Amino acid sequence: MLMIYNNPAILGAMPEEERDGLMGEVDTLIEELTRSGEFAGGAALADASQAHTVRVRSGIPATTDGPYAEAKEQFAGYLIVDCESAERAIEIAARWPDAKYWAMEVRPIINTVDMEV
């Protein structure tokens, strides 16, 4: 899984032409990964202001609004790729436009949950 981090304030302040260019790079990369068979899915996330954080301490759940940490860079979306190696996933992450401005995190998916009942 390639986790996309960005700063919504900076992204929102970018000139429209620059933002459009960044999204064009994303489209190009998704098309390439789809053709190669490496694209397995992904999605953008709603703004972190719509997040809810749940913590259970001493058996008591507490829910707070907003992201889990005070940070300017926030988890903005994810991309799932089916690659032959971690090195290839890192290569793809390095090409993702957000990596030029903020960060990408590459992490293997080791287990999936079967949601069918």
Cα–Cα distance list, 25 to 6, 10, 81, 98 (Å): 15, 18, 17, 10
State the Cα–Cα distance between residues 18 and 4, nearest whole angstrom: 18
pLDDT in tens, the chain (117 residues): 999 988 888 888 999 999 999 999 999 999 999 999 999 999 888 877 777 777 788 988 877 776 555 566 788 889 999 999 989 999 999 999 888 888 899 988 886 666 565
Question: Across the chain, how many H-helices and E-strands are there?
Answer: 4, 6
User: Taking the model in full, what pTM does it have?
Assistant: 0.76
**Domains of the chain, each with CATH number or no CATH:** 2-106 (3.30.70.1060)
Q: What is the pLDDT of residue 113?
A: 63
Q: What is the pLDDT of residue 57?
A: 84
